[in-house]
């Protein structure tokens, strides 16, 4: 079993969660991914989250990846996993079974 910290960087998720919860994966909130290409500060935050996760032996999932440019940039940072409409919109369970 793995423990994920969802929507990292927004709401109630903070650095104290990393310190206090034995999490395995940090999910970088979609709001950061959507604006990281246009906003250098946001890009720096994403980069820092990816680097911090790696140093702590944790993986990252980048939520809301919609463009190849976002994917390439995240890969260059060393982000482990991505999810978003670039790969698929939500699919009903029956369709997923056909895809597998």
Catalytic residues: 63
Question: Residue 63: how many CB atoms within 10 A of its CB?
Answer: 20
Buried/exposed code over 26-40 (b: 16+ C-beta within 10 A; e: otherwise): bbbbbebbbebeeee
Let me know: does 43 contact 76? Beta carbons within 8 Å. Answer: no
* Lookup: tokens for 7: 């929507």
């Amino acid at each position: 079993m793995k423990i994920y910290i969802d929507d990292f960087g927004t709401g109630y998720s903070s650095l104290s969660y990393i310190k206090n919860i034995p999490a395995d994966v940090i999910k970088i909130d979609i709001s950061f991914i959507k604006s990281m290409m246009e906003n250098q500060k946001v890009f720096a935050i994403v980069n820092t989250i990816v680097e911090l996760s790696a140093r702590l032996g944790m993986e990252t999932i980048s939520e809301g990846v919609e463009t190849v440019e976002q994917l390439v940039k995240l890969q260059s940072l060393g982000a482990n996993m991505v999810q978003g409409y670039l790969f698929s919109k939500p699919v009903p369970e029956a369709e997923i079974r056909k895809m597998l």
